[in-house]
Amino acid sequence: MKIHPFSFKNNRRMKKYQFEICANSVESCLAAQAGGADRVELCAGIPEGGTTPSHGDIIVARETLTQTKLHVIIRPRGSDFLYSPLEQRIMLEDIDEARRLGVDGVVFGCLTAEGEVDLPLMRQLMEAAQGLSVTFHRAFDVCRHPQKALEEIISLGCDRILTSGQQPTAEQGIPLLKELQEQAAGRIILLAGCGVNETNIACIAKETDIHEFHFSAREIVASSMTYHNEAISMGGTVHIDKYSHPVTTIERVKHTIACLQ
């Protein structure tokens, strides 16, 4: 298998806004590209907040994304962002594998038990990710001191922080997003995400002066199966709809981007 390095056209670097799609599949990656997104964050385990995608997902996404940058999340499990030594080893291996497969960037974030940025572990991961774009993900939104964390993440050399302003949605987090954007003063990119859509992206941009946005643009697609067995749950006691799934659509990507153009 030959991996082709990604190349970006110079005129796209000059865009005022950048749009990243949270992609739950290669199908969603392709819709993001067709809709005009600049970047995708490829994730598995979306209901858990995103986990590391499979080897196969990364390979096929890399082969098919010719106009859109490919970032992958490095997160061995759901739940919190306090990682055991075993999980730390897994993250380092996943970064190495993502690099080998030709991704453009990786997305991770680590905290201590006290809710601070885990600087020693982050330094290890940053060293492993040298040469790749690095986004500190929404672990930031559950840290104890966001202003302090911002300075620490800048000192680590991360390229951007994905954040909803420590609120359930970025729209609700506008006050902190605005404050952090002013504090960052161009030293790091703030990527506003969670609940960003056609109805609020323009407001978030205007109120915060943030220029990068992370959204899913998904719609529910019905299964093609004609036989349904509703007695069986694939999630045990947690109900999971077996006969539909969410997927990013070209139309929603285009529509959301158009709100800022």
- First-to-last CA distance in the chain? 38
| Mean pLDDT (whole number) for 54-71 | 98
**Segment (H or E) for 224:** none
From the list 161, 167, 205, 166, the residue with the least C-alpha distance to 187 is 161
- What length is written for the chain? 261
Residue 4 confidence (pLDDT) above 50: no
Taking the CA atoms of the chain, what radius of gyration do you get in angstroms? 18
Residues 6+ apart with CB under 8 A from 159: 105, 133, 134, 135, 188, 189
Residue 9 confidence (pLDDT) above 50: no
Residue 38 confidence (pLDDT) above 80: yes
Please tell me which residue, 215 or 242, carries the higher pLDDT value. Answer: 215
Which pLDDT score, from 0 to 100, does residue 235 have? 63
Residue 13 confidence (pLDDT) above 50: no
Question: Does the global pTM surpass 0.75?
Answer: yes
Which pLDDT score, from 0 to 100, does residue 242 have? 80
pLDDT band at 236 (very low <50, low <70, confident <90, very high): low
Domains belonging to the chain, first-starting first, are: 17-258 (3.20.20.380)
